[in-house]
Amino acid sequence: MATNRTFTMIKPDAVADGNSGAIIKMIEEAGFRIVAMKKALLTQTRAGEFYAVHAERPFYADLCEYMSSGAIVPMILEKENAVADFRKLIGATDPTKADEGTIRKLFAKSMSANAIHGSDSDENAAIESSFFFAGLEQF
């Protein structure tokens, strides 16, 4: 299977609770190589751009407010079958439905404060990676 990349972002609840280190450890132990990483704060406008695909959904305003409520840790990750394997590692969007041992089962609090994001396709992984890391060298 080909090595490829995905994009992830540790969300404000998990960063504020001091869980970034534990989550990064799980990601590395699952075999993902960190290609790029930083700590950043999204404005509500930038959060709205990131989640523009959800603009018509009823939770959009709350999602943008929440995603700009504290620091986040965006990363580009590399592994064989990265997008699908990472979705498995993070678990279901709703933490009550997430499998045992997944990041969301361990760290998510609710549907919105669900600890982590993972891209859902190779195409979106590339778009989301550029959103945070455009113009930076990657290695």
Ligand X SMILES: Nc1ncnc2c1ncn2[C@@H]1O[C@H](COP(=O)(O)OP(=O)(O)OP(=O)(O)O)[C@@H](O)[C@H]1O
Closest contact distance (angstroms) between CB of 26 and ligand X is 16
Residue 129 touches ligand X, criterion: CB under 6 A:
no
Across the chain, the runs of DSSP E, i.e. the strands, are: 3-10, 33-37, 73-80, 116-118
Among 22, 106, 111, 126, binds ligand X (CB under 6 A): 111
Q: Look at residue 132 and give its three-state secondary structure.
A: helix
Both tokens assigned to 119: 């891209």
- How far apart are alpha carbons 103 and 126 in whole angstroms? 22
Give me the catalytic one of 117, 119, 129, 132: 117
Contact call for residues 48 and 89 (beta carbons, < 8 A): no
Comparison of 48 and 118: residue with beta carbon closer to ligand X: 118
Site string for ligand X, 59-88 (x = CB under 6 A): x---x-------------------------
Residue 87 annotated in ligand binding:
yes
Q: What is the 3-state secondary structure (H, E, C) of 15-27?
A: HHCCCHHHHHHHH
Would you call 117 a catalytic residue per the annotation?
Answer: yes
* Residue 94, CB-side half-sphere exposure with 13 Å CA sphere: 2
Is residue 120 involved in binding ligand X (CB under 6 A)?
Answer: yes
* Residue in the structure block whose two tokens are 């930083």: 38
Interface positions with ligand X (CB under 6 A): 59, 63, 93, 111-112, 114, 117-118, 120
Positions annotated as catalytic residues are 117
Task: Give binding residues for ATP as ranges.
Answer: 11, 59, 87, 93, 104, 114
